[in-house]
Structure 1
Amino acid sequence: MSLPKSFTLRAAGRKTIEMPSVGYGTWAGGDNSWAKDAVVNALKAGYRHLDCAWMYGVDGLVGEAIKESGIPREEIFVTTKFWPHFGHPDNVELCLDKILSGMQLEYVDLFLAHWPCVWMPASREALEKAHAGHDATPDDMGIMKSNDDKPVIDWKHTAAHIAKQKGQEGSFVPTWKAMQECARRGKAKAIGLSNFSITEIEELLPYEADVPIACNQIEVHPWLPQTELVEFGKQHDIVITCYSPFAGQKEGARRLDEPTVVDLAKKNDMDGGQLLQSWAVQRGTVPLGKSATPSRIKSNLAIRKLSDDDMKALDGLAVPNGEGRTVDFTNKWDVPLFTG
Structure 2
Amino acid sequence: MALPQTVPLRAANSKTIQIPSVGYGTWAAGDTSWAKDATLTALKEGYRHLDCAWMYGVDEAVGAAIKESGIPREEIFVTSKFWCHFAHPDNVELCLDKILKNMGLDYIDLFLAHWPCAWKPRSREALENARSGPDDQEAKGMVFNDDGKPAVDWEHSTRNMAKIKGEEGSFVPTWKVMQECVRKGKARAVGVSNFSITELNELLPHEGDVPLSCNQIEVHPWLPQREMVEFAHKNGIVITCYSPFAGQPKEGGAVLVKDPTVVELAKKNDMDVGQLLQSWAVQRGTVPLGKSATPARITSNLAIRELSDEDMKTLDDMAKPNGEGRTVNPGEGWGVSLFEN
Asked if these proteins are the same fold (TM beyond 0.5), I'd say yes
Residue 12 of structure 1 corresponds to 12
SS of 2:246's partner is coil
Residue 151 of structure 2 corresponds to 152
Q: Return the letter of the residue paired with 1:268.
A: N
- Alpha-carbon offset, residue 267 of structure 1: 0.6
Indicate yes or no: 2:209 matched with 1:224: no
- Alpha-carbon offset, residue 165 of structure 1: 1.2
- Alpha-carbon offset, residue 15 of structure 1: 1.4
Query: Unaligned stretches of 5+ in structure 2?
Result: none
Indicate yes or no: 2:243 matched with 1:244: yes
Map Cα deviations across residues 56-115 of structure 1 (whole Å, 9 max, x no partner): 000000000000111010000000000110000000000000000000000000000000
Structure 1 residues 318, 38: CA separation in 2 closer, same or farther (over 3 Å shift)?
Answer: same
Count of aligned residue pairs for this structure pair: 332
SS of 2:169's partner is coil
Residue 107 of structure 1 corresponds to 107
Residue 127 of structure 2 corresponds to 127
Q: Return the letter of the residue paired with 2:5.
A: K
- Alpha-carbon offset, residue 327 of structure 1: 4.5
Map Cα deviations across residues 158-201 of structure 1 (whole Å, 9 max, x no partner): 10011111111110000000100101000000000100000000
Cα distance in 1 for residues equivalent to 2:23 and 2:211:
21
Structure 1 residues 327, 13: CA separation in 2 closer, same or farther (over 3 Å shift)?
Answer: closer
- Alpha-carbon offset, residue 2 of structure 1: 0.3
Residue 48 of structure 1 corresponds to 48
- Alpha-carbon offset, residue 135 of structure 1: 2.8
Paired residues of 2:150 and 2:339 also in contact (CA < 8 A): no
Q: Return the letter of the residue paired with 2:67.
A: K
How does 1:287-302 map onto structure 2 within 5 Å? 287-302=288-303
Q: Could you tell me the TM-score, scaled by structure 2's length? A: 0.95
Cα distance in 1 for residues equivalent to 2:272 and 2:146:
49
Cα distance in 2 for residues equivalent to 1:231 and 1:252:
30
Structure 1 residues 314, 328: CA separation in 2 closer, same or farther (over 3 Å shift)?
Answer: closer
Paired residues of 2:149 and 2:339 also in contact (CA < 8 A): no
Paired residues of 1:114 and 1:195 also in contact (CA < 8 A): yes
Paired residues of 1:20 and 1:49 also in contact (CA < 8 A): yes
SS of 2:318's partner is coil
Residue 141 of structure 1 corresponds to 140
Structure 1 residues 174, 126: CA separation in 2 closer, same or farther (over 3 Å shift)?
Answer: same
- Alpha-carbon offset, residue 16 of structure 1: 1.1
Map Cα deviations across residues 215-262 of structure 1 (whole Å, 9 max, x no partner): 000000000000000000000000000000001233334311111001
Cα distance in 2 for residues equivalent to 1:45 and 1:305:
20
Moved over 4 A (4+): 325-328
Cα distance in 2 for residues equivalent to 1:116 and 1:90:
16
Paired residues of 1:47 and 1:301 also in contact (CA < 8 A): yes
Cα distance in 2 for residues equivalent to 1:254 and 1:163:
34
Q: Return the letter of the residue paired with 1:306.
A: L
- Alpha-carbon offset, residue 144 of structure 1: 0.8
Q: Return the letter of the residue paired with 1:240.
A: I
Residue 276 of structure 1 corresponds to 277
Residue 323 of structure 1 corresponds to 326
Q: Return the letter of the residue paired with 1:298.
A: T
Deviates more, 1:147-156 or 1:172-181: 147-156
Cα distance in 2 for residues equivalent to 1:299 and 1:265:
12
Paired residues of 2:42 and 2:298 also in contact (CA < 8 A): yes
Deviates more, 1:189-198 or 1:313-322: 313-322
Map Cα deviations across residues 16-39 of structure 1 (whole Å, 9 max, x no partner): 110000000000212100000000
SS of 2:216's partner is strand
Structure 1 residues 231, 327: CA separation in 2 closer, same or farther (over 3 Å shift)?
Answer: closer
Q: Return the letter of the residue paired with 1:294.
A: P
How does 1:56-67 map onto structure 2 within 5 Å? 56-67=56-67
How does 1:66-81 map onto structure 2 within 5 Å? 66-81=66-81
Structure 1 residues 229, 328: CA separation in 2 closer, same or farther (over 3 Å shift)?
Answer: closer
Identity of aligned residues (%): 69
Structure 1 residues 328, 307: CA separation in 2 closer, same or farther (over 3 Å shift)?
Answer: closer
Cα distance in 2 for residues equivalent to 1:191 and 1:42:
24
